[in-house]
Each structure stands twice: as structure tokens, then as C-alpha cells.
Structure 1
Amino acid sequence: MLKQFLLVGGALLLASCASPKLAQETGSLAMVSASNKILPYPIYQHKLSNGLNVVTVPFDSPGLASFYIVTRVGARNEVEPGVTGFAHFFEHMMFRGTDKYPKEAYSEALKSIGAAANANTTQDRTLYHMTGNAEKLEYMFELESDRFMNLNYSEHDFKTEAGAVKGEYTKNSASPYQQVYERQQETAYNTHTYSHTTMGYFNDIVDMPNQFAYSKTFFERYYRPEYNTILVVGDATPAEVNALAQKYFGHWQKGSYVSTIPVEPEQNETRYVHLQNDSIPAYFSMSYKAPAFSDSKIDMPALDVLASMVFSNTSDLYKKLIIEEQKVRFIGGGAGDSVDPGLFSIQVSMVNKDDMAYVKNEIEKAIAKVQIQGVDQALLDRTKSHLKYGFAMGIDTPSAIAESLSHYIQLTGDPESINRLYALYDQVSVADVQNAAQQYLKPEHLTIATISDAATGELQ
């Protein structure tokens, strides 16, 4: 499942949508059959000797190509105390330029090929992307290889960008939802680096201008071929893309650094977070420890199916709490895909804070019903069909395909994961959904976060 966080009424809310099946070839240019696949386009993979993976998806978009680089480095890799936020920092810093293409020259180069470039960061990766004139694909390779291998910035530039990052943090942290989300992560995780958000800890951001030397270390560690995948979708051939990758990235030196991510111990009690704030409607979330993404285990697909059946806008719970009783402004739930075990979060925006305990009880009753009785087979079949095909209608541009593929490259490094994942969705049974609810959605694995005008949380 491809997961996205949506901003609804000011709150970070989890939405989910199905992603297309994809195919791969490794080492050669032999086409893999696209029959019976949601995305009816072949995917080619080719790995350079330095460890850089190159993925090509030819797509009928005359004159247009999307060029993505998935750097499998995110907040998760920030294992050293005092220097969180650097994965996100380089999302900014990579646009500062090189000796050959300073910042202004890089921007002008993009304009000359009609390309739009941007980047974003998550817990597990940093993504750089541009879409432009396919006839200028070689120029895209030249521009991106230059900054990935030759990024150069002064201490003054570094401090200027660090100040911009602090400004972004300050702007984001004005939101009560962001504030409680940060506290939720710190509370849910005692050891793992998912305890801090992509932005990092505030004290680390304040100190970031003093970390010029460390920034160079971070770049040297992670901006190496083995951490990256080049993805080209559109009016291009695998032979062309592979040749350009070899020409512009083939001499990129492989690194040797491997970060050791601490393992989070099992949670054995319900944990609580509360934010006193009267500027927004009362809100609470229930976040259970969830499994890491896997394309070989049934657990995550079963939880995705459960989330759709219990918390979607066609569910019985939604109809009762929002339409009939009108106690809730919004309710949604699901698990975000992550490299390491993440969270299955249920988020609720209230009409009246006094109904929090009642609504929480109704949610627990809905979960318990699945745990005890399972789910309806016909509804399960309809839900699986919707999850499998609902997203396919939107996969009609090079950038849409690249976004979908980059999600799975982020998680496993292998876009073929989507094929294995959909094989699992086909297999999800009533028993699988019931077992997932029993294994993961239990009180000792739960962190509850609340926002209201009260001094203490209503659900503690």
C-alpha cells in the first residue's frame, strides 16, 4: 500500500490507496511480461558496479520524462545524539549548487529544459525529482550527477540554510497537531530513531549552525551510490538510461559507512500524551505498534484491509459517529509503510471533548468485534478489490508512476516488491484480518495522544 498523510482541517490524517503492480528485469534488457499487472508497463533494472541501481519504465509520454533519485536515507538514519534533522537539511542543501552549476546556474539550467525540480524527506528516505523534456534527459543526468558527487557549499551558505530549516520548524511547530505528533513519537519510541520526526529535535536544529563539519561527514557517508536508485519514467529506453547512468554516475565512488539502527524493545503498557490547547477542536489519536513493511508477510496487507473496513467513510463506525450521532468531525485510521516497525494510528477530531471517552470506547468495540468475530467475507472481497484497483486509474503520467515506484524502492530498494505485495493482498483471508487485529491492536502496544483545553488528558 502507498500511504500518504493528508492535511484535513489542519490535522495530519492518514490516507491509503492502492499502488500498481510493477515488473522488473535485472542485469539485462529483457522485457518482463506485463500481463495481469495493474500497471501494464515493463520495468527494467540494471545495477552499476558501484552499487547504484538504475530503474527504467518506458511510458507513452512523447517528449516527457520524469527523473527521480531515491536516496534511502531519512530521519531513521540519524543515530547520533545532537545531530538530528540532517537528512531533511540536505533536502534543502542539495539545491545550493556546485562549482560547475552554482545555485542560480542550476535554476537556469532547469528552465532551459522545461523541468520542474523538487525534493522531500521522510523517516526512511530523501527523494529528489524533476520532470521535463525527454530530449534533454542527458542534461538531467549531468545536472544531478554533478550535485550528487560534487555538492559544494561554504560555511556561510551552510549557516544560512540552517537558519531556513529553523524557520521551517518554527512555522510547522505552530500547529498543535504537529506539536502533539512530535510528543507522540517521543512517547511511542524509547530507543528507535523513529522517536524524532523528520525535522529533528528542536535543540538540535538550534545548534545546527555549529555543525558545519558534521554536515560534510553526513554527506560523505550517505550520498553514495549504494544508498541511491535512479528512476526514469517516460519517453526513454532502458539502453539509453543505462548508458547515461554509466557515463555520469559510473565513476561515483562507493562508500563504506553503514548506520546501525537501534531496535525498539516491545511496549508493554499504554502510554499517554496530552497537549493543552483550546485553539482547535478536541482531538485524539490511538497509535498501536505495527509491523515493518514486508512483501513476504501477510500482516501489513491484513491491517490495511482492516483499516479500510473499520475506519473508511463507508464503515459502520463512520456512519454511527459522524452521520448518525454527529459526535465526530473526522475519523480515519491505518498503518504507514516503514522500513522498521511503525504505528497503526487512528485519528479523531471531536465535536465535543466530553465525548472522547465514549468515542474511544466505540473504536475499541469495533476492533474487538473483528478480534472476536472476524469480518464479513463479501465485504472483505469488495475491500480487497477496491484496494487493489482503486489507485490504478490515477497512474497515467510519468510522475505518477515514478511516485508510486519510488515508494517501494524506499522500503526495500526493489520496485518488484509491489508484485509480491499484491500477491499477498489476493491471499488475505478473514482469519488473517482477525489475527492481525489480535496481534497488533492491543492495549499494551498503544500510545494515546490528546488535544483539548483541559489541563490533563481526558482519556488517562
Structure 2
Amino acid sequence: MRRLLPLLLLLLMPVLPASAQQPPDATRFFPYTLNTTILPNGLTVVRVPFNSPGIVAYVTAVRVGSRNEVEPGRTGFAHFFEHMMFKGTKANPEGQRERILGGFGFDDNAFTTDDITVYQVYGPTAGLEKLIALEADRFQNLEYSEPAFQTEALAVLGEYHKNAAGPDLKLEEALAKTAFTRHTYQHTTLGFYEDIKAMPQAYAYSRSFFERWYTPANTTLFIVGDFNDAQVVSQVTKAYGGWQRQPTSVIIPTEPPQTKQRTVHVDWPQPTQPRHVLAWHTPAARADTPDAAIQTILAEYLVGDTSPAYKELVLEKQYVESLNVYTTPHRDPYLFPIDATLQDEKFRADVDAVLRREVTALSGGPVDAVRLRAIQDHLRYGLLMDLETPRDVAIDLALYAGVMGRPDALASYLKQLGSVTPQQLTLFARKYLEDKNLTVLTLTPKAVAAGGTP
């Protein structure tokens, strides 16, 4: 399922030389130069020159998501705190930052996943020096009152209710709670509903959350576009140099191996289309293994537009409206979920049989090497073509670096996409896509449950 916008010890950013460039080999797979500096306080600053005259993207990735929420009753705080980061400081009270950025014409937004929180600002290079000062101020000196905190907590509760009006959130919650018994991936980015309702009473905890996770060593800046590199490094060093909060680590519960197939069913009270999800536990995304690339390719190979399953279920028999696999990289072992939206409940057994048949065929081999190469080329080309603006580049760099812990993680991922072999696909499917490692999620709308058609 798609995580909402979706370990043993908290991993800090790796210690690189004080100033480093992307390795020459990586430029074969990622077309832009990464200039990386780590400040004495641990803040990683990545600059990427991009041919975008007068335009720059400024993206801040903090390695904190719902994964880090280990205390009972405190789920949803990573996402909630994304909201609080716009509340202002003593130097720039609430609303002033937005007025200044709006005056320059900057676009400003943020999102939270299971593993990271990303803040993005995009606009004219002419305002970059002021932007650096504003961002450094809020990450070091965030201030908000308890009434403001409580008001925002109610807004987050409203966001939950809005999402809960459709079936996707309920599906996501049911799958996470069933597939994970110990790991914090068992709750969504929004958090458990009871915890969200209790947030207005957690003002003091919110302050400790800020101190714990919003530290320089847990943060990476990505500055992409048209700028003077020496000036930017000087400005960032001056603005962020006084940020001295110390890094924190917590123990993330390890999910034990699943030993038998699990099932969970959702009865949806409103008319909608039935859903059928097969989800297997799979490894974490790492820069030094091909596991993330294998899962991306596997999704296309099993249910993509050129797959036998897609041709049979979507095009020919029309049992299924859509087939999707959401393979967002995760810091810890997560799930490989095939999500089928059925045209009718009566097709469920046939759809399940076809999907399992294709997984069995892949596990037994052989893999169609020609189709595999076409998928690899298409994925790499598509990813590179999506890097059309400085903002695209900065956000993709932040996503992969935030999960994998290296500024050049996106380049590593692109390289791995092109090097996966047929044998690796087969071995991966044989090892992980087995019944004892599977959770089956079904959703039936109320009318179908009663024997009718929605």
C-alpha cells in the first residue's frame, strides 16, 4: 500500500570528508555533480549545480518519520511536527516567514513518510541568502505556544477524518497492523487514531520531540540550481554553525520473521470497488545492496503493463481495474504489496490464483531476459526524465539519501537498476515471495458483503 504523504539503532549520516564530490563512477548513472560538505556540528550540505538561470531549490531532509515513534501513545508525531515547523520563532513570528518568502515568489511545502520528513522551498536565487537565514532560524529556534499547539493538533485530527472517509487509509492501517507485530511500521504516518485524539495534551512531549530529532547530524540540506557555491557554503556555515543540539538514538523493535500466512479482511460500509492485496516482507533499501532496485523491477515484471498478469486480468478478462505495487524505499525491512482493484467480488479467487501463479513461475524461473532489459531501461529513463527541475532533483536526492543514509544514494540506486540480473530476480522471489511470508488483505464493500453489486 502507498504510505501517506509515505532498525536496531538510529543511523546518523555517514562521516564523509569535510568536503567531497560525488565519485566519478556515479556520474555515469546520475547526470549532476554532488558537492558535499559536513559542517563541524554534523550538518550535511549537498550542493548541485543545475542549469536553471535564477532559480534554486532548497530541500531539508530530517531523518525522522513514523518509524521513529517508539513510545506507546505517541504515534503520529513526526507528521504532526511537520505542521508545527511552520509556527515561527521569536525573530520571525508565525506568518512572517511566509510573507517574506511570498514576497520573493518562493513556493513552500513539506511532507512526512515512514522514515523521513522533507521540507522544500523553490524559487528565485535572488532570495537565497534570506531563505538560508529563515530556514536556519526555524530549525534552531522554533517557538510555539500551547494554545497554538492544541489548535494544530485538532487540525491533524481533521486531516485523519478526511483521509478516513475513503478506504485507502483503512486498508493501510489493517495491512500494517497485521503484517507487523513489533516494528513501528505497524502504524501509518498519521499514527493510531487514539494517539491522534490525545495529541492536544502532549505539548511538553512535542518540545522534547523537537530537541530529540531536529539535530544537525540528523539533517541534510540539498541546494540545487543556480547559485554561487562558495557564497552558499559561507552563508550556510554562518547561519547553521550555532546549531548544537546533540544527536539521539532509539532502539527500533526488530520485526521477527513471519512463519505462516496471515489474513485480514475489511468490510467497507460504503459503495466502492473490492480490493485484493498480497504483501510479502522484503529487505530494507540500502545503498550497498540491490534489494531496492530488485523490488522496483520485480513490480514491473510481475504486474506491469507488459506482464502476463496485466494482459490477462486487466486487458483480456477485465477482472481487474488496476494493478499496483508500491515499492517506496524503507530504512528497515518492509513490504512488497501487490494491490488489485477488482471489477467485481466474483473475480477475487481467479485474480488471486493468477497473481500466485505468476509469483510461482518467477520463483521457478526462467526470467525473460529481453523483457527484463526493457523494464530496466524504461525505469532508468523514466526516473532520469523526471529530474527536469531543480526541485525534482533535490526531492529525489532527499528521499533516497534520507532512507539510505548517503547523499549519493540516488546515484547508487540508478546504477543498481541497470545491473540486476535474471538470476537475482529469481533468487529474490524464491527467498521472499513465499506463502509463509505473505499477508493477504481483502476489502469488500457493504453491498457486496450482502451478496449484491456495489
TM-score by length of 2: 0.92
C-alpha distance after superposition, 1:323-380 (max 9, x if no partner): 1111111112253210000100000111110110110010000111111122111111
Alignment of 1:20-419 (within 5 A): 26-28=17-19, 33=24, 37-277=28-268, 278-419=270-411
CA distance in structure 1 between the partners assigned to 2:54 and 2:68 by the alignment: 37
Any conservation in 2 of the 1:339–1:412 contact (CA below 8 Å)?
yes
Q: Is the 8 A contact 2:26 2:412 kept in 1?
A: no
> Contact (CA 8 Å) 1:38, 1:392: kept in 2 or not?
no
Query: How far 1:34 sits from its partner (Å)?
Result: 8.1
The question of whether the paired residues in 1 share the 8 Å contact of 2:47 and 2:224 is answered with yes
What amino acid is aligned across from residue 184 of structure 2 in structure 1?
T
Question: Where does structure 1 lack aligned partners over 5 or more consecutive residues?
Answer: 7-11, 15-24
Q: Deviation per CA, 1:58-84, whole angstroms, max 9, x where unpaired?
A: 111111111110010000000000111
SS of the residue 1:279 aligns to: coil
C-alpha distance in 2, partners of 1:448/1:438? 18
Look up the SS of the partner of 2:19 in the other structure: coil
Q: Is the 8 A contact 2:79 2:189 kept in 1?
A: yes
Segments ≥4 residues shifted beyond 6 Å: none
1:31, distance to aligned residue in structure 2 (A): 7.6
Could you say if the C-alpha distance between residues 438 and 208 of structure 1 is closer, same or farther in structure 2, counting changes exceeding 3 Å? same
Shift of 1:183: 1.2
CA distance in 2, matches of 1:417, 1:367: 29
Confirm or deny: 8 A CA contact 2:213 2:247 kept in the other structure. Answer: no
What corresponds to 1:17 in structure 2?
Answer: none
Counterpart residue identity of residue 239, structure 2: Y
Amino acid at match of 1:399: R
Deviations 1:412-449 (A, max 9, x none): 23121233333333331111110011011111111111
Q: Which moved more, 1:347-356 or 1:294-303?
A: 294-303
- SS in structure 1 opposite 2:352? helix
| Amino acid paired to 1:189 | F
268-277 vs 72-81, greater mean Cα deviation: 268-277
Whole-angstrom CA distance in 1 between matches of 2:276 and 2:82: 31
Q: Please say which of residues 442-451 and 192-201 is displaced more in the overlay.
A: 442-451
Q: Matched residue of 1:236: which SS?
A: coil
Q: Contact between 1:327 and 1:352, CA under 8 Å: does it hold in 2? A: yes
1:240, CA displacement in angstroms?
Answer: 2.1
Instruction: Give the Å deviation of 1:113.
Output: 1.6
Q: Hey, what's the Cα distance between the residues in 2 that align with 1:441 and 1:34?
A: 33
Kindly state the Cα deviation for residue 295 of structure 1 after the two structures are TM-superposed: 2.0
Can you list the C-alpha shifts for 1:10-50, whole angstroms capped at 9, x where unaligned? xx999xxxxxxxxxx95336686588534422111000011
Q: Shift of the alpha carbon at 1:116?
A: 1.1
CA distance in 2 between counterparts of 1:341 and 1:318 reads: 27
Conservation of the 8 A alpha-carbon contact between 1:34 and 1:41: no
Change (3 A) 1:210 1:63: same
1:447 to 423, 429, 439: 439
The more displaced of 155-164 and 415-424 is 415-424
Asked if 1:437 corresponds to 2:406, the answer is no
Number of aligned residue pairs: 439
Q: Secondary structure at the match of 1:45?
A: strand
Considering only aligned residues, what root-mean-square deviation do their CA atoms show, in Å?
Answer: 2.1
Equivalent residue of 1:230, what SS? Answer: strand
Unpaired runs of 5+ in structure 2?
Answer: 7-15
**Once the 2 structures are TM-superposed, how far is the Cα of residue 98 of structure 1 from its aligned partner?**
1.0
Shift of 1:103: 1.6
Q: 3-state SS of the aligned residue for 2:373?
A: helix
2:221 alignment partner, SS class:
strand
After superposition, the Cα gap between the structure-2 partners of 1:449 and 1:153, relative to the gap in structure 1 and judged at 3 Å, is same
**Distance between the aligned counterparts of 1:77 and 1:35, measured in 2?**
31
Q: Distance in 1 between matches of 2:5 and 2:337?
A: 9
Q: CA deviation digits over 1:170-206, x for unaligned, max 9?
A: 1111111211211110111000000000001111111
Partner AA of 2:44 in structure 1: N
Q: Does the residue aligned with 1:421 lie in a helix, a strand or coil?
A: helix
Partners of 1:34 and 1:239 in 2: CA distance? 25
Structure 1 pair 367–31 and aligned structure 2 pair: CA distance change class (3 A)? closer
Residue 89 of structure 2 aligns to which amino acid in structure 1?
T
The answer on whether the counterparts of 2:106 and 2:122 sit within 8 Å (CA) in structure 1 is yes
